Amino acid sequence: MSVQEAEPVEKRKRRLIIGLTLLLLVTLIGALFLVPQRKDNQPVNSIDPPKMEERGFGEDGELDMTNAKTIRAGVQQKADESMVRFKINTNPVYSNGEVNWMIENTAQNMGLVQVDIMKGDQVIYKSPTLKPNQKVQSDKVDLSSLSEGSHDVLAVFYIYDEKTKYLLGKTSVKINLTINGGSEV
């Protein structure tokens, strides 16, 4: 073989390699564009994430921070309005058919209050409805079913909206009720 015949074979090999490389590159690029792509970037059979709840949008603009003292006072007022304050005698005494409950719905509260005194699952006393700044100093009640001595009972405070009368919440406190066998304290 002469040198002249060897050259065209090497050129053909080089052309074949370049042609195959280009064909492979075109095939890969075509596959990327022709294969359907998932748009949500989630694996198949996955659970959809929860969607945002529609709540409308806030007010446009930035917060007015010109008077921090006024802002703090407003925030404190809102916090005070959301708090509920009660008073109750944690050691009431039953004597001569009356208990010194000393229950108060303080003036700072914005709702109505009813108090149930519970001995286990049994309600042994139901207070009247108390508006803000109202109280029950003492009240007549029949507790003759309870034995003389100390009883752990639960005072359950029910807080209601003054206008709608809907229950806003409830809280409770343990108290120690002393039953005095009819004698004066």
- Tens-level pLDDT at each residue, the chain (185 residues): 555 555 677 888 888 888 888 888 888 787 777 766 555 555 556 677 777 778 887 777 776 767 777 777 777 777 766 677 889 999 999 999 999 999 999 988 888 999 999 999 999 999 999 999 999 999 999 998 899 999 999 999 999 988 999 998 899 999 999 998 644 43
pTM: 0.57
State the Cα–Cα distance between residues 92 and 76, nearest whole angstrom: 34
Pairing of strands 93-95, 167-179: parallel
In sequence order, the 6+-apart residues with CB closer than 8 A to the CB of 85 are 106, 108, 109
Strand positions, DSSP E, the chain? 86-87, 93-95, 98-99, 103-105, 112-119, 122-126, 134-136, 139-140, 149-160, 167-179
Q: Are the CB atoms for 93 and 178 separated by under 8 Å?
A: yes
* 3-state secondary structure at position 5: helix
